[in-house]
Amino acid sequence: MIDKTIAGLKVGDRQPVRVMGVINLSKESFYSGSVVHADSVLDAALKMINEGADLIDVGARSTWPLAQKISKDEERSRLIPAIRQLRDISVPVSVDTMFSDIAGEAMEAGADIINDVSGFTADERMADVVKEHGCPVILMASNNVPGDPVGMDAVMSSLERIISLAQERGIDPGKIIIDPAIGKWTKDKLPVYDYETIDTLGRLRIFGKPILAAISRKSFIGETLGKPAGERLYGSLAATAIAVRNGAHIIRTHDVAPTVDVVRVAQRARARIPVVGSGEVEAELLGIKVEEDSARAMRSIGVTPQGCQVMKKKTVLYNILLKNVTTTEALIIKQEMLARGGDAALPREAVSHEAENVDLIITGTSLQIERLIRKIKNQVRGLPEVASLLSDLIKKNNDAFYRYS
């Protein structure tokens, strides 16, 4: 169960999904309509709070790859006065910067949270600033440059490394928020990868950290709709609803009022994670659908690397409908699955040989299915073709381009 207190704000599975309003001080931004004038920072923040924002995120440097670059001095001159204006507002304030000295100044000026989209890759001293101030930190999936992991598997690996590094540097694990880097951060980040991330956002639960989704008006929406940033609100709201449904705890947005409405409805359609407890003993269902996520969960409780590798293929269950195979082939498949600890459900007509062809449902772990494929690919009749079909089915299940193009 994910349940944290971040800068005095409760965030997690038992709480409302939180909405983070964006104060954008960067005139180089991809979305000019979001830029706030320096004299209007407080008014903009109060308006967002009135509309339902639970947090305010302030940034002064555009991370849009095509944006004109600015100096650290320019970022500082925009950012620090804005943070000072927000010192006394009623919600936590997050400072969006990749540089440790600017982050430190922002904390002194009144910021509560550091939002580092580089995940400690741009400035290794950032971890020291976070530790020194004991503040919450938002860490985005990054390897060499912000947002460069391509595909959800790469996002998972990046965040696992970043979380481990943060904890090694003495940062409180309970104060880490994770961001899967939705958006075209690099030229290799095609829209298909953002759709994969939004659809499989629940995979991030394995880290036990609050999940932040920054979706607002991003390029994958524009490429889908063929519209500029100023016309992407409805697309953003649709993607936001899906992200909330799939497990986001915080939504970062330029458009607070409509986003709050979408978040509240979408959260009602999100089932609670089953958790029970008695005394100090607790049980929680893990909705693991990817083998490597099983290994990550095992590593988190101290299972050896060897044990993780042995066990992970036994943790993901497949139920496969196989249509129109001969009765003889169906019976062979059932026997082979039983021999491997799995099973297959057959109609009565297959057992009595009253039908020439039947459908069946194969049930087994990925390891059992893998062993079945190896066993039948060299057998008689149409079993090699069945093996090939099953192999192709598993590959497509793991292929983001097949699933989201």
Task: State residue 27's pLDDT score.
Answer: 84
pLDDT tens-digit readout, 206-244: 999 999 999 999 999 999 999 999 999 999 999 999 999
For 23, list phi and psi in degrees, rounded to 5.
-100, 105
Rounded-to-integer distance, Cα 400 and Cα 405, Å: 8
Which of 245, 252, 296, 334 does the annotation list as catalytic?
Answer: 252
- Quick check: is 218 catalytic? yes
* Radius of gyration over every alpha carbon of the chain, rounded to an integer in angstroms: 25
- Residue 25 has, within 13 A of its CA and on its CB side, a CA count of 26
Question: What's the full length of the chain, in residues?
Answer: 405
Give the pLDDT band (50/70/90) at residue 64: confident
Which residue type, as a one-letter code, is found at position 85? Q
Q: For position 196, what pLDDT does the model report?
A: 98
CA dihedral 76, 80, 82, 85 (to 10 degrees): -170
Q: How confident is the model at residue 67 (pLDDT cuts 50, 70, 90)?
A: confident
Burial readout 126-137 (b: 16 or more C-beta within 10 A, e: otherwise): bbebbeebebbb
pLDDT per residue as tens digits for the range 311-321: 999 999 999 99
- 27-59 pLDDT, tens digit per residue, is 887 777 788 898 899 999 999 999 999 999 999
Question: Is residue 274 helix, strand or coil?
Answer: coil
Quick one: pLDDT at residue 363?
Answer: 98
Single pTM value for the model? 0.93
Amino acid, res. 185: W
The span from the CA of 57 to the CA of 42, in Å, is: 12
Distance separating alpha carbons of residues 42 and 83, to the nearest angstrom:
9
β strands within 44-120, DSSP E = 55-59, 93-96, 113-116
Confirm whether 189 is a catalytic residue: no
Q: List the domains of the chain with CATH numbers.
A: 3-273 (3.20.20.20), 276-312 (no CATH), 317-404 (no CATH)
